[in-house]
Chain A
């Protein structure tokens, strides 16, 4: 860890007041950034603590919810509106980390947490293109049990670790950004990048830009939604495969379907192909498996993660089957 300065911001204006400095970093709950600093994966000269910025959860005009970036994971998961309207989000949050970490972690920080690829963290011992652009990747050819089967590149196959973001991705969530001069809104689907040749760029966030909050649109289908996380132990482990799904069945056919995957790609993965395959169809195990196959047709394994392809297929089918209930 390198020495850094630290200040607390109590408003967005105050947070953005400092001179633009590329090594100044915003600090949320610190549940990932502090580890990254301690292990010298990242360095910062200055930290601006934004965990005390307004942390409200408010109704929006379209019937959705606005969630301040400083809202803690625990608070968001416990909000009765989340539980009633977006149960998949509440379940995703509660399946992440541990109670103590969720008490600290913020929504803004969760969006920006970085991969848990062990090679990414092994600063002295391993090469990593995400850490040092163009350095090479020691993960590929090494242990790839936790790595991506979708959206990876030859430079990087690290997975995005968040559970919350998988549910948010399925819900068409919009991220609100502010750099002091301009306020922007980006759909989460456009917020994250795929690694390509530049795995060190993970999002469209600009230097000095702050995540101020997220907007979750209203979604009737989400009332019937869930999140299932498959992992190497029952708690406190990252997803091998996770599935966030919402389904509304009308007149015997799927009227609305939302499906996103975690643990399989460098970003929370919206399963658009599977959704397209299901829209307007009658729910059935066969339809679910065909939809999963459509999504996974492009999946590529690296060796250690080959099991994720059949695992994703059967988990998608199991989750959709659960949501369809008697309709399937």
Chain B
């Protein structure tokens, strides 16, 4: 992102500031906000039974004749080159069909980077793949084995001999600071934010805190390992993938292999967890290249250790937060400076510098983030990128400030809630964090809180803590759907959208049913394949709103097409699209229910079996005119052993202000899952990079500790359910906000219990001894 982009975004914002809201998308609140039938009700996931029975077919399970299996050999140095490479023994091993290295790999273009500008790009690691002997990170693939069975491939991989010429590698965060880069933009925002005089405010403040917070590298650990089954057929590349970027993957693979977009077909009906990690990485490209060389279909399933070597995670950060407040706790300065790892070949920002721009009203801001270049695998987005680590720093600092002032930290937050965007002054589309705080505090029993907890049970000290979570609303332009209505009055909604377990099809079926005035059982949703209309990625918590807008646009078209088709022999004759609404399986006149005709009747009279229309999500101008953020209030109760330093979280409550909730069942699962991931971030997870050679030493679920069931307390989730009048269905995305704020709430509760302020995650027991 560049200075030019800053100028464009800034210009559009200025213009939109003058444009009446009614002209923009969301200018008129979505009528479904008031007229919900299925939306808002608990609905089980329609993919649930298939998954429980093992009927849902994942990328690594697609049957195919003549399949070859893959094993990878990873580099063991961080920088240098391959000096000698002996594949003879591997090639001679039983069952081996092919060993691919830089010596025989087909010519491959560098994948186009995931970006805001092209929806057809999904690349994370922007480096040549197996095109030369250069080694750029420890774990890079140096050889790929194809064999008749997985076991034979694995065995042959152990027989490949590699000798390297090693160069000095950059693997140390601290040393890289000397060459830190300061980008102009972070996502689509200006990186550097200076407003008012933060320095002066900090100097003059009645109360101030100033501390450095650290978060480690976190790795993706979806339950389904990254996998693809790949086939070349008649010059077309067919990929059964596990991806949250179907069209991005197809478009990128087309570029890498010099194909036209329609020569690549990607299918991914089910994904076993994405979280930002399931985009395009080296493995799909390597599998397709190997399949091309071998002229046979290929399956690649990354071992858990290979996931650590090839799939990036959440970047390590170091964040300084300084806050100033007057005697009554009114914030006068918010300073947020930091460093995070982003190698030059990496695409994704870790945008923690955006977190503090919306949370609190404040007279002055001083915010900037710097990137560090290391010889490691590219980092990527991971659930709540930016906000997950940004809220840890800022919300720990708020707790420190509250303690310093002697205020209840909830009261301090409420005192500083903004009534408009604190930086741009833009109005909120909808924002009621105070209600979330009230609901959460009541549910949790925050009135038990003491400034320093005196509660204990035996060796265990008990503590309470809280923090704010936040995540911005996003809606992608260009998301498209096709709605087909048939002469039996059934509707099918189709889009190359993604199901990573969150209930995409389930919720959009509810939406389409209400939108089209149909009962739930007469609507089908088809997603997960690039043969369906173009879809934007499932990322940035944007998919629900984007699909919502696309279905809304398509339904308007459908109304127009149907009324045209109905002609003059219909009670609807003479009505225009604006006079019509969907109801009771057809169209009817607004305000005159007697004038109506069913879909079936219209189609049959016209001699049509069905009608199809496509609609597309428009440019999300509402995001530029309004401040659109979700917030949460997270409460944590825990105990810390005086003998061992062990932390046991005994209760978590999350109260969310996210617009309307569309399906309480799937929403609760999203919130809870995010909060559990937040617990792992707070207490147990950490990628261990050995700086001597850039090797990840926690490349297994034995060594990388995700939370287990016994780590999890009772988790209550609640929501304000106040509709956002600017968002389709009144709903903002909820996939990521659950993780935000949790680490700070835990750290603050640890402080409350022990008096120890842990500023570097994870809070392992050695830090509390």
CA distance A260 to B648 in the complex (A): 25
Q: Does A62 interact with chain B (Cβ within 8 Å)?
A: no
Given A230-B765, A310-B769, A311-B644, do A142 and B690 touch, yes or no (CB 8 Å)? yes
Instruction: Indicate if the CB atoms of B709 and A235 lie closer than 8 Å.
Output: yes
Instruction: Indicate if the CB atoms of A230 and B646 lie closer than 8 Å.
Output: yes
Given A116-B702, A143-B697, A230-B644, do A235 and B769 touch, yes or no (CB 8 Å)? no
Chain A residues near B684 (CB, 8 Å)?
A: 232-233
Chain B residues near A63 (CB, 8 Å)?
A: none
Residue of A nearest to B158 (CB): A40
Q: How far is the CB of B391 from chain A (nearest CB, A)?
A: 23
Given A40-B158, A125-B76, A307-B766, do A235 and B644 touch, yes or no (CB 8 Å)? no
Q: Does A118 interact with chain B (Cβ within 8 Å)?
A: yes
Instruction: Indicate if the CB atoms of A2 and B155 lie closer than 8 Å.
Output: yes
Chain A residues near B459 (CB, 8 Å)?
A: 318
| Contact for A315 among B644, B688, B705, CB less than 8 A | B644
CA distance A307 to B690 in the complex (A): 20
Q: Does A254 interact with chain B (Cβ within 8 Å)?
A: no
Most chain B CB atoms below 10 A, which of A118, A141, A241, A318: A118
Instruction: Indicate if the CB atoms of B765 and A317 lie closer than 8 Å.
Output: no
Chain A residues near B73 (CB, 8 Å)?
A: 124
Chain B residues near A26 (CB, 8 Å)?
A: none
Instruction: Indicate if the CB atoms of A234 and B648 lie closer than 8 Å.
Output: yes
CA distance A143 to B764 in the complex (A): 15
Q: Does B262 interact with chain A (Cβ within 8 Å)?
A: no
Q: Does A204 interact with chain B (Cβ within 8 Å)?
A: no
Residue of B nearest to A240 (CB): B765
Chain B residues near A317 (CB, 8 Å)?
A: 643
Q: How far is the CB of B80 from chain A (nearest CB, A)?
A: 14
Chain B residues near A318 (CB, 8 Å)?
A: 459, 643-644
Most chain B CB atoms below 10 A, which of A116, A240, A317: A240
- 0/1 per residue, A310-325, Cβ < 8 Å to B? 1100110110000000
Chain B residues near A235 (CB, 8 Å)?
A: 708-711
CA distance A145 to B684 in the complex (A): 13
Q: Does A84 interact with chain B (Cβ within 8 Å)?
A: no
Measured CB to CB, the residues of A under 8 A from B are 1-3, 38, 40, 116, 118-119, 121-126, 138, 141-143, 145, 230, 232-238, 240-241, 307, 310-311, 314-315, 317-318
Instruction: Indicate if the CB atoms of B695 and A125 lie closer than 8 Å.
Output: yes
Chain B residues near A237 (CB, 8 Å)?
A: 705
Q: Does B645 interact with chain A (Cβ within 8 Å)?
A: yes
Q: How far is the CB of B158 from chain A (nearest CB, A)?
A: 5
Instruction: Indicate if the CB atoms of A118 and B703 lie closer than 8 Å.
Output: yes
Chain A residues near B138 (CB, 8 Å)?
A: 125
| Contact for A311 among B692, B708, B769, CB less than 8 A | B769
23 inter-chain pairs at a CB distance below 8 angstroms, sorted by A residue, are: A1-B151, A2-B155, A3-B94, A3-B155, A38-B154, A121-B700, A122-B699, A124-B74, A124-B76, A125-B76, A138-B690, A141-B692, A145-B766, A230-B646, A232-B684, A232-B764, A233-B683, A233-B708, A241-B644, A307-B769, A311-B766, A314-B769, A318-B643
Chain A residues near B155 (CB, 8 Å)?
A: 1-3
Q: How far is the CB of A258 from chain B (nearest CB, A)?
A: 20
Instruction: Indicate if the CB atoms of A118 and B697 lie closer than 8 Å.
Output: yes
Chain A residues near B646 (CB, 8 Å)?
A: 230
Q: How far is the CB of B526 from chain A (nearest CB, A)?
A: 37
Residue of B nearest to A236 (CB): B708
Q: Does B698 interact with chain A (Cβ within 8 Å)?
A: yes
Q: How far is the CB of A75 from chain B (nearest CB, A)?
A: 22
Q: Which of B664-704 contact A (CB under 8 A)?
A: 683-684, 688, 690, 692-693, 695, 697-700, 702-703
CA distance A124 to B143 in the complex (A): 13
Top-4 shortest CB links A-B: A307-B766, A234-B710, A318-B643, A235-B710
Chain B residues near A240 (CB, 8 Å)?
A: 765
CA distance A272 to B709 in the complex (A): 37
Chain A residues near B766 (CB, 8 Å)?
A: 145, 307, 311
Q: Does B707 interact with chain A (Cβ within 8 Å)?
A: yes
Q: How far is the CB of B307 from chain A (nearest CB, A)?
A: 15
CA distance A318 to B697 in the complex (A): 32
Chain B residues near A141 (CB, 8 Å)?
A: 692
Q: How far is the CB of B700 from chain A (nearest CB, A)?
A: 8
Chain B residues near A241 (CB, 8 Å)?
A: 644
